[in-house]
Structure 1
Amino acid sequence: PVSSILPKGAVEIDYEDIPPGTITFTVMARADGFSGELIGAGIGIAKGDDYGLIAEAFGNKSDVELKEELKRKLEEMASARGMGNKGG
């Protein structure tokens, strides 16, 4: 399992060649739909001084709706942990 906490110093990498069957940890946002249906998925990250936060959103939503949901989720998570507003 993975948590919504990003360790201090965590970095995003573009691509890494790994052997088949390698166990990896990932955060994924996925939305399924039908032809012509509006679907979207996204991941948001907020960085703090000691650690970061990560959240996902998905569904029959526009990019604007997804961004608003991610911003709200990250703000709520940061507030619950006493973090300042450092959304990224």
Structure 2
Amino acid sequence: MISSGQLKAICRVNAEETQAACISYFLGFLGGALEFSETARAFCLPPNEVTPLKVVVTFLDYLDRTPGAAKKQAADALLFALRDEYPCLQ
């Protein structure tokens, strides 16, 4: 498991291999979350509007504005960040 703080540090490095690791984490999370939560989604991405980079920025912004979030597991913080940014409208 990786903490949010650790993932933030990886995503902030401007080296090609660390950027690839950063984006890969988010793509893997999104793939799993969207595949296995068809009925009760915690977040709803607008079709064709959200890029992997936008998801990274959403995550990093969430960490910057949420005290203590960097100590959470990265998957938990990412879920909360996406839920806040892209709520499902009922």
What TM-score results when the alignment is normalised by the length of structure 2? 0.29
> What TM-score, normalized to structure 1?
0.30
**Larger RCO: Structure 1 or Structure 2 (Cα < 8 Å, ≥ 6 residues apart)?**
2
Q: Which has the higher helix share?
A: 2
- Structure label with greater radius of gyration: 1
Going by fraction, where is strand more abundant, 1 or 2?
1
